[in-house]
Chain A
Amino acid sequence: SAVISQKPSRDICQRGTSLTIQCQVDSQVTMMFWYRQQPGQSLTLIATANQGSEATYESGFVIDKFPISRPNLTFSTLTVSNMSPEDSSIYLCSVEIHGARTEAFFGQGTRLTVV
């Protein structure tokens, strides 16, 4: 299993500013994933982050808007840049653990409100 800690758990930010979300895992993992969950909606994958290389972004998401760092095998950050009210969402960090059972684990999420 994996325990994922995200910081902050919630924040209210002014438009035009940036917020960096931290994700800490209690075990070493190759891939970390960042999702966005808009209010009352499903989860959409933003990007996958592999340690030591640039993140791979999904269609509709760009590095300038959502820069990601992955300095080691247990930590990653997602920055939401130049925020607008449309960025108000829950952002979730996830890892996949392979063992007897392959399972994705999620952090509790960061609830972001942009005003």
Chain B
Amino acid sequence: GENVEQHPSTLSVQEGDSAVIKCTYSDSASNYFPWYKQELGKGPQLIIDIRSNVGEKKDQRIAVTLNKTAKHFSLHITETQPEDSAVYFCAASSLSGGYNKLIFGAGTRLAVHP
């Protein structure tokens, strides 16, 4: 089955710096790669996703890149702000039975210091 590894487990940056989180996956059949942000006491919330027919996607300060050959994808946050502090999870999935069975990475705790 699918296995997703995520690094680093913790990341501390100064406000305004960039943050990069990397994930690798094992199942070449996976074709959907979402990223979630989880704030304390809340459920995960989708922040950006990418499908395997696209190499890069950007949404304001957030971007995701995908390298299908190497089976890795990354989240890039530019101009970080204190409100970006949270736990970030990557996930990989393929459509099965009409829905995406998400396999999550272990998470990255991002701290943005003013």
A binds B: yes
Among B99, B106, B107: residue with most chain A CB under 10 A: B99
A-B contacts at CB below 8 angstroms, number: 48
- Using CB atoms, name the residue of chain B closest to A6: B43
Q: Is the CB of B102 within 8 A of A42?
A: no
The bracket for how many chain B residues form the interface is 10 to 19
**CB <8 Å contact, B104 and A106:** no
The answer to whether A4 and B99 touch across the interface, beta carbons within 8 angstroms, is no
Taking a contact as CB atoms under 8 Å apart, the answer to whether A108 and B104 are in contact is no
A108-B99 in contact (CB<8A): no
Residues B43 and A108 in contact, CB atoms below 8 Å apart: yes
CB distance from B33 to the nearest CB of A (A): 12
Residue numbers of B with Cβ under 8 A of A are 32, 34, 41-46, 49, 89, 98-102, 104-107
List 5 additional contacts besides A42-B105, A104-B102; criterion CB under 8 Å: A30-B98, A102-B100, A103-B49, A104-B34, A109-B42
Residues of A within 8 A of B (CB): 4, 30-31, 41-45, 48, 92, 94, 96, 101-109
